[in-house]
Structure 1
């Protein structure tokens, strides 16, 4: 019989959203995620299967922000057909059209450019 989880999944997902939003998917290390979520590595893998599994859970959650959707779009969607389908469904479910997504993408790109200066 499996032990009950000693953490709140919603809190872990919220903390992971913050890490992925700040560092991107590729830039977010598992160690950074563990530090932000205050859970053990085994707990993360038991609950979500992988860093990608946690990212997909975060993407599907109510905690997903436009920035997180953009991380998925820019970093993972070009090479991951399953994620593209998931992302398209999430965007449609939230009523986010291409124009809103494009505006957010340009805004994020402008912010990143300013940070680099």
Structure 2
């Protein structure tokens, strides 16, 4: 019988998600993972099969916990400008979208499974924005929720780059108003 596992797999996946969200897939070596996660290289390979296996588990964790939570909050905020503004401000300044953003630009073009997961996340965000528009009985609800999702993602990308100018704030307020006013 083998030795019992000396680490909590869920904790390792969550920590790996945070690491990949700050350093990217290509910017994170197996040595970085071993050092940061406190897991032996052999245990990492035995549990996840490869760096990619851990990355996929981390991306799925991020989608199930961070992005899904954002989707729920956007849907629930529909029809309430203050709530929508708070949710979107958190999405723009917080880290919930970071791993999916990096996955979209770095891994999705070269990995079909990552592309599918990213596409599903963006579709869920589009649906939440559409639901929020309908809940607000928004006269502009016929406008594409994809455009609103793209604005949200663009705002997060700009904020992540250190840009926090007045334009980001105005755009975020406009998006919140779209989701919260008839």
The TM-score normalised by the length of structure 2 is: 0.54
- Say whether 1:112 aligns with 2:143: no
- State the structure with more CA Rg: 2
Cα drift, residue 35 of structure 1? 1.3
Give the Cα separation in 2 of the matches to 1:18 and 1:90. Answer: 17
List runs of 5+ in structure 2 lacking aligned partners: 67-95, 127-145, 164-182
Q: How does 1:88-99 map to 2 (within 5 A)?
A: 88-92=119-123, 95-97=124-126, 98=146, 99=148
What is the Cα-based RMSD across aligned positions, in Å? 2.1
The match for 2:53 is 53
The verdict on how the C-alpha distance between 1:53 and 1:22 changes in structure 2, with shifts beyond 3 A counting, is same
Give the Cα separation in 2 of the matches to 1:85 and 1:13. Answer: 20
Give the total of aligned pairs: 112
- Say whether 1:85 aligns with 2:134: no
The TM-score normalised by the length of structure 1 is: 0.80
